[in-house]
Structure 1
């Protein structure tokens, strides 16, 4: 009801505020500001020269940006496409702005709850875009040459220079997309290149996860975040990246891997009492809302103090619309921020 009242106070012709747009898109205000700084995706009008007001065209542009990044398109490429889409189309994106995400107990997740604490601000800091672009090209070139040692040097250097989350979004993922496009354009002649790069990316992510987890023995007493791919879903690299990024931020991440049976998810929930469950789906054929709802409804804990866990729907397989009791992050860093907010709210 509070959101509806706020919405009524935001006339379309005057534009909407950054906080309002962030709630409706399901991202943090800091993400919108970061996209403005890094890719020029800011509002066309700033009332009184100070306050940011997003016009309907701006909103359509940001809808497209969210849709593309959720589908796995690198942020810089998604921003260019979103700008072209906003200029060329006068109609809204396919999916309207959905309701604000809500936690498993039905409470709205406010913009402030999803804004990272000051120490996490570096995740949204402005990177050296030119350096990241060169690193991505160098990584892809090394993979095409089948130079495994050079591939690993590029990956290790990117993680050290930018941190895991930024390295994944700005270097690893764009390189994987570039190699995939080369393979498709060459009648599948370069499949060995994609396999080599994928293996080294996975090795880098797992090494980062193990190293971060080993440095924090205290995580044994922290409620873990349970991560896994839905039944029939074998694509694990994005969720491995999320697990490594969570470990790097000090969270306890428990990885189940790819193609996890439904019964295994439910059994793990009851055994470890997780802070959150992340369900990854790469395609619509594996996204199962009934399973997600079932996990979100599971109760665990001692009699008289039973609770349930938060479920995050990650990956392009899920519909963009949000559902009560299920969170829908837009990208790796948004998922890290959501989980960080949940950890801050729950005493261990």
Structure 2
């Protein structure tokens, strides 16, 4: 057998690589188009094949993005490390700026030290400039990806607006509503779920929980990575949650609670009693608790707390690929 034939047998198709990495094939094509991180060699008239070196490079990139590195920087570092692209000085992260006045006739928002993009989003929001808000959000997600955009830009702005209206006779409620609506719309339009027959991850807010943006961000991040999800949004009734779990047989269920008044461990206990599969090999869903509402509660056996978007995404990716239950060290103490 020739050396080229042996190399071809050792390489992977795009579909096989996507399954190995847990991402969509369209994501691999997007990364190649945007960042140049594609297969090293091409043969005319044949499907693209990814060599072991190509696979290692993509795995390196995925590890970096799971740690919060932007896709563009992760691709550059992965290629530089194996000599495919010359290394360049790592671009410095935008430097935080001290709190200042926000134009548009409003008093300062309590932004503190944030990235410039967060300040730009806040300025657009307090002006009620819908087109500018939309542009700022899309620019942040395109530049940094879902995880970094949420944790460093979107969430700080939402928190500042929420703190402002809660301390100023609710004069900023309209700002929060406009910003929240556009954040939700942008997260949904930024990614497209792919058909997937694997056991899904169910995402839902607790029955009395109306604030769904944090779990919507998790949905977008999971979908961006090609993981199968089912999103049920705000205030899903307990009976409907159980019905959805019985019908889909999920690998994991994420329950979001933003206040202690909506955190109900009885719902968790009921979920943990569900099981499916053949006799002798029955399984239960992994239950993950997201949001500050669970702070101070002692998770039920088989339930763990997520500590943030990036770490929660990494935990779910690992669980989905290996089926391993998270260790007690993953529990949040906050």
With the shorter chain as reference, the TM-score category is 0.5 to 0.7
Contact 2:68 2:148 (C-alpha < 8 Å) held by counterparts: no
The corresponding residue for 1:224 is 200
Where 1:228 maps in the other structure, the secondary structure is strand
Instruction: Report the count of equivalent residues.
Output: 225
Residues 286-325 of structure 1 aligned to structure 2 (within 5 Å): 286-320=262-296, 321-325=298-302
Contact 2:140/2:153, CA 8 A, preserved across alignment: yes
Alignment check: 8 A CA contact 2:265 2:300 kept: no
Match of residue 279 from structure 1: 255
With structure 2 as the length reference, what TM-score do the two structures score?
0.64
Is 1:252 matched with 2:228? yes
* Structure 1 position 259, deviation (Å): 0.8
Q: Secondary structure at the match of 1:160?
A: helix
Matches within 5 A, 1:83-122: 118=60, 119-122=62-65
SS in 1 for 2:293: coil
CA 1:317–1:125: 2 relative to 1, 3 Å: closer
- For residue 260 of structure 2, give the secondary structure of its aligned residue in structure 1: coil
Distance in 2, matches of 1:241 and 1:315, equals 12
Query: Residue 116 of structure 2 corresponds to which residue in structure 1?
Result: 134
**Structure 1 gap ranges (5+):** 1-116
Query: Against the structure 1 CA distance between its residues 288 and 273, is the aligned structure 2 distance closer, same or farther, given a 3 Å change threshold?
Result: same
- Distance (Å, rounded) in 1 between the aligned partners of 2:237 and 2:167: 35
- Match in the other structure for 2:90: none
How far, CA to CA, are the matches of 1:180 and 1:285 in structure 2? Answer: 18
Equivalent residue, structure 2, for 1:3: none
Q: Name the TM-score, length of structure 1 as normaliser.
A: 0.61
**For residue 326 of structure 1, what is the aligned residue in structure 2?**
303
Distance across 2 between alignment mates of 1:156 and 1:177: 19
| Deviations, residues 269-321 of structure 1 (Å, cap 9, x unaligned) | 11111110001111111111121022122111234432111000111000354
Which residue, out of 186, 205, 219, partners 1:243?
Answer: 219
Deviations 1:35-81 (A, max 9, x none): xxxxxxxxxxxxxxxxxxxxxxxxxxxxxxxxxxxxxxxxxxxxxxx
Per-residue displacement from partner, 1:314-343 (whole Å, max 9, x unpaired)? 110003544421111101111111111111
**Partner of 1:212 in structure 2?**
192
Higher helix share: 1
Are 1:233 and 1:258, in contact at CA under 8 Å, matched by a contact in 2? yes
Alignment partners' CA distance in 2, 1:341 and 1:247: 15
Match of 2:67 among 115, 124, 141: 124
Highest Rg: 1 or 2?
2
